[in-house]
Structure 1
């Protein structure tokens, strides 16, 4: 191929990879031929990035062990980053993104643009560590709430709106959907899933991918385009069946088990996602224990597991896209003041170099939250990785950048970002979905919806709500004495066992029952107040049969504002709960312990079954 192309209009020399009229495969081939080993190695790492003060380029962020932006891009030659932190100032974020992109284009060779990714950030959520707060973006219920609504069109609409907000900020890759199945109720990451049903999870994942990747806007090709946000489906091959529900971010949670021999059930949503065209895939940290298939029996973390990544995902399921490891498989890291070991489960004995080689040899194209390209260079120079293997992944990563239009239009318009991110119409749709997703579990004597006119001026005892809003908006008299109250309204969080401070404390694991002291406290309130309304935020299933017995009404929510919740309680403008449970609600922790981690709907005598949900019309 010629090393240059003459522009017919002005006679200037244009490199072939910059010519948007050439096929992407030709442009990639040309660019790869020009890049050094060090530059290709930088592509194989998906780092983290944090804006500096007032949208400046960060000098580093020790709380997450993240180096400075210039060091990552110019020094280490990385070109893929996960954005940390909420978007609270839209213009500032858009301008920061342009600064980052300008650094990559002007201070490194070949003008390879940055791909900016994000964990889920369009939900009303407090799940720090597994998602990002929405900030200025529209806020929808968490994915469990979308699952509660069973509405594929709504999920596609959510994804389409999130796509438009993401693109305005420069976000080109969604680290989602999460299609793990919630078959082990103690697991701390259920809030990011679509629940317990493999069939429903697959259907909603397909709608999610369609909305984000927008194949209808690709000029008829059905592929990615400049209008797309690529999706990274996770966590292959399904991270739900963690032993005892402990999460594999931590050493004590590294085992994933299959007592029901039910791996295939957990793979079902991934089959659908692949068919729907998801472009990227992320294996989880866990290592499989006790799999009967000898091809999959190696007890190492899934990101290191050649049988899982190359054998099952690529060869058997036919996935041809990018595989990115989960974060931090090679290096220890400081996160929120806590030193976390590298999640190299089953590979703890390997050196950092050996871990990198094993991950790439397993079939991963990128290493998440690492910035060690020098190890790929060393591996190549010592013959552990071939130039062809490195080029294989580099070509896929560059191809996606071209498909997403990053080479041809790398910057965003801050004015447009201000106009589109958090648009009032988007916010209204998100809030409407929050209201609708709420599930009515118990409604004795049809106490809900409460009529505001009938209870104005009455005394209300509240927990989990901001009392001033109740007084000013609804005319209640808020009392701190349950014995004086006419009505009690409690917003509770699903029970969990508190862990240590720092990063681990963000993970709600352990018992799904309230402690004896909490049960006693709740019973004292509910026994003395004539009307009691309880809402439980379900980031995972809760065993609370005592509340179903004691309260006048019980609702379940999956990420909703106080305003949205109260609109449903009072039926404001016809607001009503339409959600159906996305999982069973167990009767006790003992029932969960007795169930099999990989088998759905497996607890004995649950309080409510999957799909339960009352309405105000009956």
Structure 2
């Protein structure tokens, strides 16, 4: 009998063959996925603000998955990644590093969620793709992400996010596709086809679908990065709605799934209460539901920072160990892995893992099971444990891709109000005139238009961001848009006073819903964007690129209505100012 070849062995058999005979301690690092910061002058021996140097992570701890937080230009990043790969492939397991990243093709900058596009095409936030609702566009976008990531050296996307936008106050809605479970599942399908193709390989990028089993229904809309937002609730009994997109993820073979930080409160499944601990610590959620019931076979990667308290850049950031705060670090690690987590996001303590294996708190069988999954994915991405060829970096700013992203920004813009002046709708803009600008750059004006004072203008255009309450006690908190959705009295009065001088067109960036009730009496036209440059806004307003967005979530009438709604039920504020799906079409008469 001949020995099986790599072409005839299953992926799990290949992984087991790779790790056969290797000591456990040489494999510890494969269960960790810390974040690293790289800069143009990156020194692999310099300590990181987040902990050890990159050389220590790679060589001493054997870690082969690194999430890129801050990074320089794509060209500089690619060079640094190549140098780090040279270190990895000459030490320890010799496995290449799987570099991962949160989204990098849109507008929002939040170190814990997304990065503003730099050196590549720029698109609306995913919620804007939900507003356009075009499967083919989402698949095209995912292919562009795939090729851009591969050119840089990124092989794993810590996205897409398929949480439903059912709680209007929640801070993470911009990265979702909207409130509809069916549409979210459909757009997820298109994204996975574009990013992973038929299967993960040396020419694709691994997707991490998050946040299982759906991270939208947060009590009071607070985010579970922080202790005050740890509770996830289902008063409307709609757990299955939030689970639906993950069924699609499993069906299409998503490479990885990431559970959320949230701790379910009062949730029952199959007539039995679910333990009130964070989803990643919950064996019933990870093993019984995700593995056994849904049949997921890929890597379960925990969200970042579940074990140890930290203080990045001097800001406190307690471990998101909700429901198990009383456990120490070793107990939390054991609980996560025994619940079914294969890889620990944001952690790097391989010595701690060794102690847990030595004293039997994590079984050798469970450890090898997790390692096998991680190695199988690694060998999918790096066949033969070698670095595959990558697309050229020149493709990152491909004119066609840049133009597609710019057009998508305009396409996502959603027209909500369009009143008449002298018998004609104010939109589309009717040709060169005098315009007063607030919150928008003069350089974006179309040819022939001129800037004027409010007293002398034909109309004013004002750009606003969705309201939020600034908080800055904890790390990442300042970049999370949380709290009230109402505009301040000062903003309302500014729009009112401006409207007394000339007609006002307001464009509101909806990174989450906004309560527009106070603005409506004072605007002649009102549009929403979901991540757009000033030029893209003018393209939409002038019909150079037709805006075709439909609201991916409803816009409530008041905060009282938001408070009275159920966090797990979409579009249930009772009497919204604008319902989900609202959006006018512009025509040139």
User: What is the TM-score with the length of structure 2 in the denominator?
Assistant: 0.95
Shift of 1:547: 2.3
Question: Would you say how many aligned residue pairs link Structure 1 and Structure 2?
Answer: 582
Q: Which residue of 2 aligns with 1:272?
A: 248
Match status 1:81 vs 2:66 = yes
Shift of 1:406: 5.1
Cα deviation, 1:455-474, whole Å, max 9, x if unaligned, reads 1xx2x32222123554xx54
Cα deviation, 1:467-525, whole Å, max 9, x if unaligned, reads 3554xx5454434x534433211110011111126521101111111122222222111
Q: Which residue of 1 aligns with 2:416?
A: 441
Cα gap change, 1:87 to 1:422, in 2 (>3 Å): farther
Q: Which residue of 1 aligns with 2:525?
A: 553
SS of residue in 1 equivalent to 2:303: strand
Match status 1:485 vs 2:485 = no
Considering fraction of residues, name the structure with more helix: 1
Q: Which residue of 2 aligns with 1:591?
A: 561
The answer on whether the counterparts of 1:199 and 1:268 sit within 8 Å (CA) in structure 2 is yes
Question: Matches of 1:225 and 1:558 in 2, distance apart?
Answer: 32
The answer on whether the counterparts of 2:38 and 2:71 sit within 8 Å (CA) in structure 1 is no
Question: Matches of 2:331 and 2:119 in 1, distance apart?
Answer: 42
Q: For residues 308-347 of structure 1, what are the structure 2 equivalents within 5 Å? A: 308-347=285-324
2:486 to 479, 492, 513: 513
Question: Matches of 1:35 and 1:561 in 2, distance apart?
Answer: 52
RMSD: 2.1
Cα gap change, 1:417 to 1:336, in 2 (>3 Å): farther
Q: Which residue of 2 aligns with 1:67?
A: 52
The answer on whether the counterparts of 1:94 and 1:169 sit within 8 Å (CA) in structure 2 is yes
Cα deviation, 1:532-556, whole Å, max 9, x if unaligned, reads 1110100111111232332111111
Match status 1:450 vs 2:423 = no
Q: Which residue of 1 aligns with 2:575?
A: 605
Question: Matches of 1:486 and 1:244 in 2, distance apart?
Answer: 42
Q: Which residue of 2 aligns with 1:12?
A: none
Question: Matches of 2:51 and 2:401 in 1, distance apart?
Answer: 33
Cα gap change, 1:58 to 1:52, in 2 (>3 Å): farther
Shift of 1:570: 1.9
Q: Which blocks of at least 5 consecutive residues in structure 1 are unaligned?
A: 6-15, 216-222
1:162 to 145, 149, 158: 145
Match status 1:524 vs 2:497 = yes
Q: Which residue of 2 aligns with 1:348?
A: 325
Question: Matches of 2:383 and 2:317 in 1, distance apart?
Answer: 34
SS of residue in 2 equivalent to 1:124: coil
Shift of 1:134: 1.5
Question: Matches of 2:384 and 2:98 in 1, distance apart?
Answer: 10
Cα gap change, 1:377 to 1:311, in 2 (>3 Å): same
SS of residue in 2 equivalent to 1:67: coil
Q: Which residue of 1 aligns with 2:83?
A: 99
Cα gap change, 1:410 to 1:237, in 2 (>3 Å): same
Q: Which residue of 1 aligns with 2:239?
A: 263
Question: Matches of 2:404 and 2:72 in 1, distance apart?
Answer: 19
Question: Matches of 1:170 and 1:52 in 2, distance apart?
Answer: 15
Cα deviation, 1:397-420, whole Å, max 9, x if unaligned, reads 10111111254431656xx53222
Shift of 1:127: 4.1
SS of residue in 1 equivalent to 2:78: helix
1:46 to 33, 36, 58: 33
The answer on whether the counterparts of 1:543 and 1:587 sit within 8 Å (CA) in structure 2 is yes
Cα deviation, 1:22-45, whole Å, max 9, x if unaligned, reads 654443222212322122211011
Q: Which residue of 1 aligns with 2:156?
A: 173
Cα gap change, 1:435 to 1:127, in 2 (>3 Å): farther
The answer on whether the counterparts of 2:59 and 2:92 sit within 8 Å (CA) in structure 1 is no
Question: Matches of 2:535 and 2:41 in 1, distance apart?
Answer: 31
Cα deviation, 1:227-277, whole Å, max 9, x if unaligned, reads 111111100111101000000000111001111121111111111221122
Question: Matches of 2:273 and 2:27 in 1, distance apart?
Answer: 30
Q: Which residue of 1 aligns with 2:509?
A: 537
Q: Which blocks of at least 5 consecutive residues in structure 2 are unaligned?
A: none
Q: Which residue of 2 aligns with 1:124?
A: 107
Cα gap change, 1:322 to 1:32, in 2 (>3 Å): same
Match status 1:569 vs 2:541 = yes
Cα deviation, 1:330-381, whole Å, max 9, x if unaligned, reads 0112235411000001111101000000000111101100001111110010
User: What is the TM-score with the length of structure 1 in the denominator?
Assistant: 0.90
